[in-house]
Structure 1
Amino acid sequence: MQITANGIQIEVQTYGSEDGVPLVLIRGLGSQLIHWPVEFFEGLARAGFRVVLFDNRDVGLSQRCAKAGVASDADEITAAALAGAPTPAAYRLNDMAKDVVGVMDALGLEKAHVFGMSMGGAITQLLCMDHAERLLSGTIVMATARPFAERGGNAEWLATLLARHVDRETYIKSCIAEYINWGSPAFPMTQQEVAAQAAQAYDRAFDPEGINRQVLAVIASTDRRQDLTQVALPCQVIHGEEDTLIPPEAGAEIAGLIPNCDHHLIEGMGHVITPKQAPMLIEMMQDFITRRAS
């Protein structure tokens, strides 16, 4: 369903009883709500959560957020970066955090637990820092607190993050290749499963310009490390030992900055959440909330 959140239209799906424990799941860069494994969100709903899924702005069925004078074409952004010119963002991750609060407002949720992965983990950090009064807890998954430049970001790396218009077959092949690089060897998906998910995402709403605006929002984000030391919410960090996109040390750093933060380093987990990981993550959420955030 479409709701108005933070002044824009956001596509939302909810699962579980309306009087269940509210839990908002936040996806990563360029991904859609359909990328959450059914086993994960339905399992959470059966465990007593009211699970909220949504498409971040600029992806899936949510509103596109272009801004006049701000590039969203991959070649134009890359050329500017290589020339040392500014690559301004149409919005920031802080705006995407406000989108989450807006979703909660529209659904009548005064407070909620939040689970964010990758870019969603960065958004979760901002929610913990700037909107703590709306959170019951924060679960930060496969994320970093450092800005793009601090992590060695450069024009060449930026070019690899940007999306381009491709046909359906090429897109599916690229998703399979990404999974090979970033997947979870201990919790594997078959090539057929990855291809089917990629086809669904392409057919539903593949939009390179929207993805690129999210990329620029990530690049524009500031260093969160100092502010995380002031977070007083129950938090946990989950990171995979096999994460080749955001190294495990980044998660450990976040866990060390947030006071009393739980830290889970998962053997055999990469930069993805697969159906086979669902039981472990559901149990982890139940245990964390029972111990720390109930």
Structure 2
Amino acid sequence: MSSATVNGITIEYDVHGPDDGETVLLVMGLATQMIAWPSAFIEHLTDAGYRVVRFDNRDIGLSSKTQAPLPTRKDVMKALASSRLAHSDYLLSHMAADAIGLLDHLGVDRVHVVGASMGGMIAQEIAIGYPQRVRSLVSIMSNTGDRRHGRVGAKLLPQLRKTLLAAPPRTREEAVDRGVLAWRQIAGPHFDEQYFRALVVESLERSTDSIGSTRQLLAIQASPDRTPALRHVTAPTLVVHGLRDKLVLPSGGIATARAVPGSRLLMFPDMGHDLPTPRLAEIAGAIVENARRGA
């Protein structure tokens, strides 16, 4: 792995695949490190000839942590109650600028950008703010920022609030168990506990900072609705969503596909808020097909 200094912060990243391949930029979601992109998924893309770049967003993993007063519980509750009450040290547009800075560091002019969850929001911001840098766009299990669509499921919301406001875990084992439980709550029927336990352990070995996830949540809540701007996106766009998604309801994917002219919508009946192993090849194949539209 390597690091780059962009916008006054350090971004951790790694690169896979042939040096002469068109670049696919993978943008991960809230509180989730770049290692959450499954190796098999990356291999599908590199086998198709693409160069894959993934990175830790600011405030997660090995990238820089914001040096500012910590958000309070009151700040979080206000932000969850209304986006008008959300205040953040940065917005999703600033995280998009981080990604562009990384591309500049790598000397990459144009990319196929693929984002999952919050990463899908950042990918949309990249396509909106830097259209000349985007060959194609893929938004996975995400939304447009319109609070009417792609909200958290009513049954899951109390659990998330409890998790956000819980006291820090007292032991390493408790931290791992909490992480696995969090994935179990949002994943679909193909949940693989052994895989996610290994992912949580590896994530904790890289970084134990937990404040970053709160800062990222506030950035989401404080960022504006992207729907009007998405109507001007011209890059070939694929929207992927799971019909079993409880964290970002499927209406978020539908709204995204409706917002971007000419976009394609791919929905899976056995996918939650995760990248299920049995669907990786199909999702990667659809990404490659969309990338070829923008080649």
Common fold by TM > 0.5: yes
2:48 match: 47
In the TM superposition, residue 160 of structure 1 has moved relative to its aligned partner by 4.5
1:140 match: 139
1:178 match: 182
Deviations 1:77-128 (A, max 9, x none): 3476699995521111110000010110001000000000000011111111
Please state if 1:165 is matched with 2:168. yes
Distance in 2 (alpha carbons) for counterparts of 1:269 and 1:82? 25
In the TM superposition, residue 170 of structure 1 has moved relative to its aligned partner by 2.0
The 1:276–1:171 alpha-carbon spacing in structure 2 relative to 1, beyond 3 Å, is farther
In the TM superposition, residue 285 of structure 1 has moved relative to its aligned partner by 1.4
Distance in 1 (alpha carbons) for counterparts of 2:284 and 2:77? 44
Q: Report the 3-state secondary structure (helix = DSSP H, G, I; strand = E; otherwise coil) of the residue aligned with 2:112.
A: strand
Matched residue type, 1:20: G
Q: Report the 3-state secondary structure (helix = DSSP H, G, I; strand = E; otherwise coil) of the residue aligned with 1:206.
A: coil
Please state if 1:217 is matched with 2:215. no
1:104 match: 103
Matched residue type, 1:55: D
The 1:52–1:156 alpha-carbon spacing in structure 2 relative to 1, beyond 3 Å, is same
1:24 match: 25
Matched residue type, 1:72: P
Q: Report the 3-state secondary structure (helix = DSSP H, G, I; strand = E; otherwise coil) of the residue aligned with 2:26.
A: strand
Contact 1:22 1:111 (C-alpha < 8 Å) held by counterparts: yes
Distance in 2 (alpha carbons) for counterparts of 1:79 and 1:266? 32
Distance in 2 (alpha carbons) for counterparts of 1:33 and 1:293? 25
Distance in 2 (alpha carbons) for counterparts of 1:283 and 1:80? 41
Distance in 1 (alpha carbons) for counterparts of 2:188 and 2:144? 22
Identity %: 31
Distance in 2 (alpha carbons) for counterparts of 1:250 and 1:109? 30
Distance in 1 (alpha carbons) for counterparts of 2:222 and 2:249? 20
Please state if 1:286 is matched with 2:288. yes
Runs of 4+ in 1 over 4 A off after TM superposition: 78-87, 147-158
Deviations 1:23-49 (A, max 9, x none): 000000000011111111122112111
Distance in 2 (alpha carbons) for counterparts of 1:83 and 1:264? 31
The 1:80–1:270 alpha-carbon spacing in structure 2 relative to 1, beyond 3 Å, is closer
Deviates most, 226-235 or 168-177:
168-177
Matched residue type, 2:180: I
Distance in 2 (alpha carbons) for counterparts of 1:193 and 1:12? 22
TM-score by length of 2: 0.89
In the TM superposition, residue 156 of structure 1 has moved relative to its aligned partner by 6.7
The 1:227–1:268 alpha-carbon spacing in structure 2 relative to 1, beyond 3 Å, is same
Q: Report the 3-state secondary structure (helix = DSSP H, G, I; strand = E; otherwise coil) of the residue aligned with 1:181.
A: helix
Deviates most, 273-282 or 52-61:
273-282
Q: Report the 3-state secondary structure (helix = DSSP H, G, I; strand = E; otherwise coil) of the residue aligned with 1:264.
A: strand
Please state if 1:123 is matched with 2:119. no
Q: Report the 3-state secondary structure (helix = DSSP H, G, I; strand = E; otherwise coil) of the residue aligned with 1:30.
A: coil
In the TM superposition, residue 199 of structure 1 has moved relative to its aligned partner by 1.1
In the TM superposition, residue 158 of structure 1 has moved relative to its aligned partner by 7.5
1:242 match: 244
Structure 2: where are the runs of 5+ without partners?
Answer: none
Distance in 1 (alpha carbons) for counterparts of 2:163 and 2:253? 21
Deviations 1:174-226 (A, max 9, x none): 232223322132xx242222111111111211211111111110110111111
Distance in 2 (alpha carbons) for counterparts of 1:289 and 1:130? 19
1:202 match: 204
Contact 2:238 2:287 (C-alpha < 8 Å) held by counterparts: no
Distance in 2 (alpha carbons) for counterparts of 1:268 and 1:168? 32
In the TM superposition, residue 171 of structure 1 has moved relative to its aligned partner by 2.3
Distance in 2 (alpha carbons) for counterparts of 1:126 and 1:82? 21
Distance in 2 (alpha carbons) for counterparts of 1:222 and 1:71? 22
TM-score by length of 1: 0.89
Distance in 2 (alpha carbons) for counterparts of 1:157 and 1:151? 17
Contact 1:243 1:270 (C-alpha < 8 Å) held by counterparts: yes
Deviates most, 174-183 or 15-24:
174-183
Distance in 2 (alpha carbons) for counterparts of 1:232 and 1:128? 9
Distance in 1 (alpha carbons) for counterparts of 2:127 and 2:32? 22
